[in-house]
Amino acid sequence: MTNLRPNIYVADPQAIKTVAMQKERYAKDVEYVDQFIGCYGQSLLMVEGEVWRRHRKETQRAFNERNIRLVWSETEDIMRRLFKIWDSPGGKEVRIDNVSDMTETLGLLVISRAGFGRRISWDLTDDKIPEGHQMSFSHTLRAVSKNMIIRALIPTWAKNLTKTTRDVTTAFSEFGLYLTNMVTLGRKSSEIAESQLSNEPQVTLAPGSLLDLLLSANENARNGGKGLDASEVAGNIFLFLFAGHETTAHALSFCLGLLALYPEVQREVYMQIEEVIRLHGKLDYSNLNDIRLVECVLWESMRLYPVIKVSHVGRIATKDSVISVARNGPGASENLREDFFIPKGANIWLSITAVHYNPTYWPEPEKFRPKRFMEPYNKDAFLAFSTGSRSCIGRRFAEIECIAALALLIERYEIRIDEDKFPSVPGESTFVSFPFYLQVL
C-alpha cells in the first residue's frame, strides 16, 4: 500500500536536533524498524518512552572504558595477524583488489571478539561447525551481515522458494541459535561456562565484551531489577552488529581511498604517528590524544561520505507542529530563521549529506581537509553519528576501531592507488573499488 503521507526533508542542524530530541512529538516509525532488526528481540532502536530509557541506560553501561580498551587491543591483535598474512609471500608491496572486502572482514572480526566474545580468524573457513549447527559462527556472522535487507524483504511464503532465500533463512535461524546459546552460557558461572567451552577451541570468552557486559544487565532483570531480559540482550547485540559493522567497513574504505588520493595528508598523519612511536616506543590506547590527525581523517571522510545519507529511520509527526529553520542561499545567515509548519502524520527525514555539504557550516565543503576538525566548528552540523539523545550509542566503539586500524596501517604502509590501470577522472568518487597498493615503509 502506498504511503500517501507528506514527506519533509530537514537539512538544518538546529531543526534536526529539535526533531531528534522531541521524541513524543516526532516519533520513530517503529514498525519500519521492526522489519529489519526485530527478529531476535526488542532493542534500543525499536522502543520509545520509559522502555527506551531503560534500554539506553543498560546498553550505555556496556559501552564503558573497559570495552573500549578491549576494542583497541583486539583491533591491534587482528591487524597484526593480517600483517603476518600479507608478509608471508615476501616482497614489499601488498595489492588489495577490493578494499571493502578487507574492511568488512575486519569489522566482523572486531565485533565478533569485542561484541560477542568470540575470536575468529581472517580465514573464515578455519571456523568449524559445532554440533547442533548447520553453519559455523563466522560463516553465519558474515551471511547475516550481508543479507539484513534481503531478509527483511523476503515474505514468509517465499522463505524456501529459492536457494538464496533458503540460505538467508538458514543463516538468520543459525544466528538466533548462536545468540541463544551465548546468552545461556553467559548466565552460568564462569567455571561452568569455561568447562563447557573447553571442547570448542574456536571459542574464547572475552571479559569486557558487549555481550558479557549486557548479561550483567540481564542478571539485574532476573533478580527483579529493571535490566534487560534475555530477548532484549539478543535484540541489542543484533542491533550493534547491524549498525557497527556497516559503519566501520564504510568509513575505513573511504579513509584509505582519501589518504591514497591525498598523499600530503597521509604523510602528515604518518609523521605524527612516528613521533608518538619515537617518544613512547609503540602505539597504544593511552596515546590516543597524540594522534589526533587520525581521528580528524576519520571524521572528515565521514563528513564527505556519511554512512547514512538520509536517516534510515524516519520520524512521524504525532501532532501539528512548527520548527525553526535557517534560510540558506547567497548572503544568508544562520541567524536568519523562519518557522516551518509540519502537519500531523507527516514523514520527517533528516538529510545528513545536505548538512555536511552546506558551506554555511563547512567552508569549501567539497574539499578533503581533516584539519578543519581542529578548528572551531558547529558540532550540531556533524551528523555522522546522528545527534541528540538518539545519537549512536556505539560511536566510541566504532571510532576506536577505525583509529586503531588506520594508525597501524599508516605506521607500516604507504597507501597508493594503481594509477596506471585506474587513472583518476575528475568528478569520479568510486575510488573505493580501485585496487590499492600498500607499500612497506
Q: What's the pLDDT tens digit per position in 340-362? A: 999 999 999 999 999 999 999 99
Among 192, 235, 223, 242, CA closest to 55: 235
Asked, for residue 86, whether it belongs to a domain, the answer is no
Q: Looking at residues 379-391, what average pLDDT do you find?
A: 85
Q: What is the pLDDT of residue 197?
A: 45
Q: What is the pTM of this model?
A: 0.87
SS3 content of the chain, % helix, strand, coil (to 5): 55, 10, 35
Q: Is residue 333 part of a domain?
A: yes
Residue 73 predicted with pLDDT over 90: yes
For residue 317, is it within any domain? Answer: yes
The mean pLDDT value for 39-52 works out to 84
Q: How confident is the model at residue 238 (pLDDT cuts 50, 70, 90)?
A: confident
Q: Report the relative pairing of strands 347-350 and 7-10 from DSSP bridges.
A: parallel
Instruction: Of 25-39, 100-114, 303-317, give the range with the top mean pLDDT.
Output: 100-114
**Smallest Cα–Cα separation from 116: which of 165, 54, 74?**
74
Apex 83 CA angle, 80 and 89, nearest 5: 150
Please indicate if the annotation marks 39 as binding a ligand: no
Q: Is the pLDDT of residue 205 over 70?
A: no
What's the domain range around 344? 7-37+308-383
pLDDT of 213 above 70: yes
Question: How does residue 374 score in pLDDT terms, banded at 50, 70 and 90?
Answer: very high
379 located within any domain = yes
> How large is the angle between the packed helices 230-261 and 30-37, nearest 10 degrees?
80
Q: What is the pLDDT of residue 223?
A: 65
- Region of poorest pLDDT, from 129-138, 143-152, 198-207: 198-207
Q: Cell for 181?
A: 546459546
HSE, side-chain direction, 13 A CA sphere, residue 106: 31
Cα separations in angstroms, 252 against 229, 283, 308, 339, 404 = 34, 19, 15, 39, 11
Q: Which of 33-47, 270-284, 356-370 has the lowest mean pLDDT?
A: 33-47
Higher pLDDT, 441 or 98: 98
In 10 A of CB 190, how many CB atoms?
Answer: 10
- pLDDT tops 70 at residue 161: yes
Kindly report the average pLDDT of the chain as a whole number. Answer: 83
CA distance 376 to 293: 15
Residues 6+ apart with CB under 8 A from 285: 68, 69, 72, 73, 400, 404
Per the domain annotation, does 405 fall within a domain? Answer: no
Domain count within the chain:
1
Which residues pair with residue 414 across a beta bridge?
439
